[in-house]
């Protein structure tokens, strides 16, 4: 119905799925996000304003060593 109103063309519902698959389009789901998200922290992180340990170590002329326990 929407396609007919928008473009003036009508398709059988079963054929429409074949057309979309041939396009190649796929059904998309919205991204799920946690309710506990801390938006201000995410924006801060994306802007790169974090005080990274390496920056502090460079300022003090120190080296950070990461050791795994595997």
Compute CA distances 62 → 4, 51, 57, 58, 66, whole Å: 68, 15, 5, 6, 13
Domain edges within the chain: 1-27
Give the pLDDT confidence score for residue 52 in this predicted structure. 66
pLDDT digits (tens, 9 = 90+) for 7-35: 899 888 888 888 888 887 777 888 888 88
According to the model, what pLDDT value does residue 61 have? Answer: 81
Residues 39-70: tens digit of each pLDDT: 888 888 888 766 666 667 777 888 877 787 86
Claim: this prediction has a pTM higher than 0.95: no
Which residues contact residue 4 at a Cβ distance below 8 angstroms, ignoring those fewer than 6 apart?
10
């Amino acid at each position: 119905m929407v396609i007919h109103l928008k473009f003036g063309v009508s398709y059988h519902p079963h054929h429409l799925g074949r057309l979309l698959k041939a396009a190649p389009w796929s059904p998309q789901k919205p991204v799920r996000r946690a309710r506990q998200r801390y938006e201000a922290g995410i924006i801060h992180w994306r802007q790169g304003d974090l005080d990274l340990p390496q920056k502090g170590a460079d300022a003090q002329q120190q080296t950070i060593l990461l050791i795994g326990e595997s």
